[in-house]
Amino acid sequence: GSEGWTEGKVTVNDSLGALGRTVGQLYSQEKNSEMAHVLYNDQQPPEEFGGTGGDNGESHGGHTKGVVLLDKNQGFWLVHSTPHFPPEQQGGQYYYPSSGVNNGQNFICVTYPLDRFQTIGEQLQINQPNVYNCDVPESLASLVPALATLCSKNRQHGRISPHMRAESNRSVTLTSKDGTDFISFAKGASFDDDLYHSWVAPTLQSDLLVQFWVRSTGILPSDCSRGWKVLDITLINPGQTFTFKATQDHSKWAVSPKAASRGAKGGWVCVGDINRNEAEERRGGGTVCLQDPVVWKAYRTAALECEACGGGTTEC
């Protein structure tokens, strides 16, 4: 009955949960010459929680949030939706913000071999992230120059130069350490269009149901033009536990309405950091997609009601 969802043993803000144990590795040692990290968030942590303070409103760079942590063998790339997270490494302690508890959030964390992180760094350059904390030691800089560049730009002016990569957008296949293929979609400000309808749906050759933060201005309505149906989710129930509205969910994910079958290109799930609104058409960010029947069923059954094209509500 849980459709593939498992209830966590602890809450999301517990340092012993999956998120806490994964990101917490960053704080468990002093500066390590064998490990590199890059923390980026358009809403960086406030000063009292190991942030550098300053403007905690939206940054002008990408609307993009994540953590990269790697050593000379492997690492993980976490893409998420939580503002003010995680704290800077120098703060010395894992902390999950109370503001990230009230609404739904999402996280996709994948372990990749070292040789994927140059490509991940290039994707991040397209995203134009607000990098607020990073360290790429010399021993790793030559292996992941794109991450080293992100980090050095951050040190120079705390802001990514908007001209670091010429591409307005790029999708790449990233194969995880255990051999699972993920597709990373990264767009920059110059892309100037909706991530999901103009790019992800036609690339995956799949209609999409999209969950995103709707308590914002300039929300893009469901769009059935140009051969693809991209519907805004309005009501959610993960794992048949409890039902809540999209207005209570800050996460950003998309799921194919139909399963993968021969000849049909369904069965996709994408988790990312971009909303469907006008302002974010002109900001960097992206999503990471995979085609897995168990993950697809979990997300597909979570989407109950959607906005129909032309208005009104329909069963997703």
Burial class (CB in 10 A: 0-12, 13-18, 19+), 61: buried
- CA–CA separation, 139 vs 134, rounded Å? 15
Asked if pLDDT for residue 172 goes beyond 80, the answer is: yes
pLDDT at 57 over 60: no
DSSP assignment, residue 158? S
Q: What is the pLDDT of residues 117-134, one digit of tens each?
A: 999 999 999 999 999 999
Mean pLDDT of the chain: 92
Of the pLDDT bands very low, low, confident and very high (cuts 50, 70, 90), residue 163 is very low
Q: What is the pTM of this model?
A: 0.93
Residues assigned a catalytic role: 250
> Three-class SS string for 128-153?
CCCEEEEECCHHHHCCCHHHHHHHHH
If one compares 45 and 30, the residue with the highest pLDDT of the two is: 45
pLDDT tens, 255-308?
999 999 877 789 999 999 999 999 999 999 999 999 999 999 999 999 999 999
- 61 neighbors 284 (Cβ within 8 angstroms): yes
CA atoms within 13 A on the CB side of 301: 15
Domain ranges of the chain: 18-167, 170-315
Q: Is 90 exceeded by the pLDDT of residue 195?
A: yes
> Residue 232 pLDDT more than 80?
yes
